[in-house]
Amino acid sequence: METNDLLENVKIKAQRWLSETYDENTRKEVRKLLCNEDPTELIDSFYKNLEFGTGGLRGIMGVGTNRMNIYTVGAATQGLCNYLKMNFANLPEIKVAIGYDCRNNSRLFAESSAKIFAANGIRVYLFDDLRPTPELSFAIRELGCQSGIILTASHNPKEYNGYKAYWDDGSQVVAPHDENIVAEVAKINHESIKFDGPDELIGILGHDMDNKFLEKIKTVSISPEIVEKHKNIKIIYTPIHGTGVKLIPAALREFGFANIINVPEQDVVSGDFPTVISPNPEEEAAMDMAIKRAYEVDADVVMASDPDSDRIGVVVKNDKGKYIILNGNQTALLFIYYIITKMKEADAIKGNEYVVKTIVTTELIAEIANKNNIECFDVYTGFKFIAEIVRELEGKKKYIGGGEESFGFMPADFVRDKDAVSSCALIGEITAWAIDKGQTLYELLQNIYLEYGFSKEKMKYVVRKGIAGAEEIQKIMENLRSNPPKTLCGSPLELIKDYETLVAKNMLIGRHEKINQKITSNVIQFFTQDGTKISIRPSGTEPKIKFYFEVKERLDSRENYDKIEKQADMKIEAIMKELGL
């Protein structure tokens, strides 16, 4: 579409928001955008409608069809209502649960949604205050709800908010429901949103649900006797201003830990995230205060959760006395290794167990699983796909863990999303287990590499905002498909997996095979002869294209760890340079 045509269409859409059916504050902000000589913000606010991606509805807060506000949230909720009433027409009552995090407007959006559900005759269970995302997933299952939503933008900067929709098993919606809900939302205009439902259909969830959730989390513990023996290990925890402050310290205490050290400045609940630029435990800057506290008290482990407490960050002390942030692959390795090792010790592996990882997550998880007679499933990025496997195999096989590289792990299936509450408690137990064996967590990770092979992972993303950015990201993907590299760091390209066509091409022998996935996705992967894996995917929730790198090296002794890690880093840097990053 030509720029002038786009701008005219955007202006037409924006002028509709000047109708008196929109509130005065909204109309005032739209007028400002229309009067601004630079149309960039106006275009970005109205050029498209927010849609469900891998993480649901997410965007910058503000007026417009491409922004998070009561009208876009209201349209999503009304569309979800319509879809629920079609799907569950045979039930005497449809029930939903609603949660929200610390973000600005999260409570407003949650309460507005509750009134819309009620106006559509749907019973609502609304949390009385902010709560972790995994508790919302648990509550849906516990209450027998058909759906649920949580208002959160996860680890995104403070300008963002989001809306994640869940199905009756407590997982985020997957196909065909996600696409069908999008179709229903597309039919909604703001006049058809029923904003004012009766209060008698809205029930409040509080401490009773918290207590049920915490009781269930205690069942995740595998070695309570080890925790009792080392209950005074020094655990630093920070919620980074988010919902984890509500339940993660309580979960650690339920496990039996008695020495939980907080970061008072970051216990302050705030959607402005006053001590960080981005509340993302993947980023060192977000962890600075907790790491400083760790040096002060000589902590055994540092933990953090993102604002809605689905992601977990873990910091360990290395052999030089420096605290370092583990990447999400390393954290997932610790979980999987611990769970499988304890199962082996208890002679509990029966041959029907399985783990799940995403396609961009380290292949070492599959290596550990396969060598221990445990099946490993590969799914697309997004925990809803992990939960989908759990749903399909329920009652047939035993789920023992699932994770993804972006700091998410689900240690039990009573939650059907990544769960930092249970994961923080379990990483505390793994720390105690390592100490009981005379090791640190860092040494335990090295032992995993010595036993199963060494890999180094890194993620690089390129941000391209707005409509021009989306077009550029698409061109990058098209070029990689039409002009794949022949070699990477001197190693011949052996395999290309294109999840848009669901075809895997062996470049050395010319063989094509079907990829075993039910739906397509805009992801491409390159595998070289020396074990290097590169995955490229546009983000489903952010204006980014992400490059995931994994390289393999041979580690034969702990003494060579630094040398091998440096070699791997140099190799990744060389590959990034070849790709122009």
Q: Which of 195, 288, 190 lies closest to 240, judged by CA?
A: 288
Per DSSP, helices labelled H in 311-419 are 328-345, 364-371, 383-393
Q: Convert 74-113 to b/e letters by CB count within 10 Å (16 or more is b).
A: bbbbbbbbbbbbebbeeeeebbbbbbbbbbebbbebbbbb
H-helix or E-strand spanning residue 454: strand 454-463
β-pairing, 235-238 with 147-151?
unpaired
Q: Convert 507-535 to b/e letters by CB count within 10 Å (16 or more is b).
A: beeeeeeebebeeebbbbbbbbeeebbbb
Residue with tokens 């959006």: 109
At 205, phi and psi to the nearest 5?
Answer: -100, 140
Rounded CA-CA distance 217/211 in Å is 10
* Catalytic positions, written as ranges: 154
CA distances from residue 418 to 310, 311, 329, 402, 403 in whole angstroms, order as listed: 5, 7, 14, 8, 8
Per DSSP, helices labelled H in 88-143 are 106-119, 133-143
Rounded CA-CA distance 135/141 in Å is 10
- The beta strands (E) that lie in 114-234 are given as 123-127, 147-151, 160-166, 202-205
Q: Is 479 exposed, middle or buried (0-12, 13-18, 19+ CB in 10 A)?
A: exposed
DSSP lists the bridge partners of residue 124 as 96, 202
Rounded CA-CA distance 67/469 in Å is 17
Helices and strands of the chain, counted as H and E runs: 18, 23
Task: Give the other-Cβ count within 10 Å of 463's Cβ.
Answer: 11
